[in-house]
Structure 1
């Protein structure tokens, strides 16, 4: 009998019931093991920076989570040149999300309504050096490029949450004038009348 290496998985998902269900499904596989699960991208990144993080083979992450999104988590892992591979599991099929995921080195992008066997197959494929992204979504992701800079995106995301210019400046450690410039630039790029409309357009396209 062939001795197959266990694939260690870190799961980041803010919905408790789904997180527990995914853990159960994956742990039923002989060669898959969820070594740690958490509710935010920030907690996942903190775990990856511990000694235990070096044993993680696959990071399976949602996108929209508190504190740090799955895409931001993927970007941090990509920049740190960690050996683990990231798979995004989300309800959002937005082209902007997929493009940003690919730019962040994500190797798998699946929707939450996919069959569990499809997720398992994707994990195995990505672990062995392949990718698992729906071809139709991949083509769509390159049709419209994200026009926002990272700084504009951060400012717009906080504006979407209802923060004032002063509060945004405080959180980003910038002057209020600089924040106004970022918000104005973002609105102009998106042909929006104001920051609220700009945030809505960016969110619909998966750019936040």
Structure 2
């Protein structure tokens, strides 16, 4: 029996996924979570074989959860299920250790097959995204992404500096670099462009 933990912030989708997977003979849904922090905690407590998680969730994103699990509970394999059909998100998911990436409009049987494949040590990636996944890589460094994520919330340079424990001058340099690389007019536009590409 493959033990599965589900993380999804939309209650209706979470219920539907749980019900559909419970119909599969060798899959056992051992827990559900409506936000990233709960998903991370339950994954380390329950030690499921596979965590199926959305990308955009409150408190921690699915990508954040996957990255943290890689360091704390690496035996829990992660499958991302999302509406974001963007190669940038897929690349980020693979970079942080996710073993699967499927779109929410895929048939339930595809998700069940993906869970089995990932649990067996393989990968399961939406075929439409796989071909373009490694084209158009993000030009941003990890620090530039962090700074843009903070800027996206409307935080001031001083706030970003405090949050990331950097000097204000360093934050301005990272913002300037990111804006230049993306050809954006300002930090808000740069953050929007990076988000649309799936780089944040």
Q: Would you call these one fold, judging by a TM-score over 0.5? A: yes
| Aligned residue runs from structure 1 range 49-198, under 5 A | 49-50=44-45, 52-53=46-47, 56-80=48-72, 82-198=74-190
RMSD: 1.6
Deviations along 1:130-181, one digit per CA (max 9) or x if unpaired, are 2211333112011111111222112111211222222222222322222222
Q: Which stretches of structure 1, 4 residues or longer, exceed 6 Å deviation after superposition?
A: none
* Structure 1 segments unaligned to the other structure (5+ residues): 1-5
Deviations along 1:109-146, one digit per CA (max 9) or x if unpaired, are 10001111111111112212222113331120111111
* Structure 2 segments unaligned to the other structure (5+ residues): none
Name which of structure 1's ranges 36-45 and 192-201 shifts more when overlaid on structure 2: 36-45
Aligned to 2:9: 14
For residues 116 and 72 of structure 2, the distance between their equivalents in structure 1, rounded to whole angstroms, comes to 23
Deviation at 1:97, TM superposition (A): 0.6
SS of structure 1 residue aligned to 2:131 = helix
SS of structure 1 residue aligned to 2:66 = helix
Aligned pair count? 200
Please say if residues 43 and 76 of structure 2, whose CA atoms lie closer than 8 Å, have aligned partners that are also in contact: no
* Structure 1 length-normalised TM: 0.89
For residues 128 and 16 of structure 2, the distance between their equivalents in structure 1, rounded to whole angstroms, comes to 28
